[in-house]
Amino acid sequence: TLKKEVLASDYIQIDESTIPVMDKDHPGSTRKGYHWIVKSPMQNQLFFHYQNGSRAQKVVVELLHSFQGAVQSDAYGAYDIYENKKGVLLLGCMAHGRRKFEVALKDDPDRAKHALKIIRDLYAIEREAKDLELSPDAIKQLRQEKSYPILKDFEKWLLENHSAVLPKSLIGKAISYTYNIYPRLARYVLDGRYNIDNNGAENGVRSLALGRKNFMFCGNNEAAERTAIIYSLMGTCKLAGVNPMEWLT
C-alpha cells in the first residue's frame, strides 16, 4: 500500500544505496546489494525497494513502469530512459553538480568558485521562498523572475568553458557533468512543487549508512527484502514526525 501511494504521486525522487549481503556462493564473504529509495515529496512518504540486490536499469523500469509525472534523480545512467518517455519529466539534482565543483576547487579555483557562486545564488532564492512560506504558484513565479535568468547565464558560461578546459581535469569533469544534464537541472523552475535537488531521497539513505555500521550485513536476499520493509515503515514515520519505536510498539 505504501508503495502504491508513493507511486500514485505525480512527483517522486529516487536514489540507490548499497547494502552488504552474504554471498551464498562464497561462504564468509559479502557482495554489494542495492536498495532503491523512492520518495513522494508532496505526500511526505517513501519506500525502499530491493530486488535481488540489483542496480540494473531493468529494476527501475519495472518499478516505475506505469508512473506518470516528474522523476528526480542523480545522473546515474539507469534513469536516462526517462528523458524521452512520454508522460515523464526527468529532473536533475543541483547538489550533485555543486559537489563536482567543490572537488574542482583545488584544480581550478577561479572557475570552480564562479560556478559555486552561481549555485549559491540559486539556493538563496530557494531559501527566500521557504522563509516567505510561498505557495507553489508563487514559488514558480519567483523562480521565473530570479532563477531563470541565472540559469540561462550559467548555461552560457558552461558552454563557453566546456572547450576551454581539459576534459579529464577535475574542473573539466565538473563542467561536463553539469552541462550534459543541464536541461534536467534547470527544469525545477517549471513547477513550484519541484525541488532544486534530490536531497529528499538522499536523506532516506542515511538510515542505510547507519545500518551498515551496526548490523554490518544481511544474511541473504530475503533478509535484505525485510530490511526494505522495515526501513520503509520507519522512514515514513520519521517523515511524519512519529516516533518509530512507539509506532512499532
Given a cut of 80, whether residue 226 has pLDDT beyond it is yes
CA distance linking residue 94 with residue 112, whole number of Å: 15
Average pLDDT over residues 152-157: 97
Cβ atoms 38, 6 nearer than 8 A = yes
Given a cut of 70, whether residue 207 has pLDDT beyond it is no
Given a cut of 70, whether residue 9 has pLDDT beyond it is yes
Over residues 117-139, the pLDDT tens digits come to 999 999 999 999 999 999 999 99
Altogether, the residues listed in the chain come to a count of 249
Mean pLDDT lowest among 25-34, 61-70, 96-105 = 25-34
Mean pLDDT lowest among 49-63, 140-154, 183-197 = 49-63
Average pLDDT of the chain to the nearest whole number: 91
Please give the order of strands across the beta sheet that includes 69-72.
Answer: 45-50, 30-40, 11-22, 69-72, 88-91
C-alpha cell at position 71: 522523476
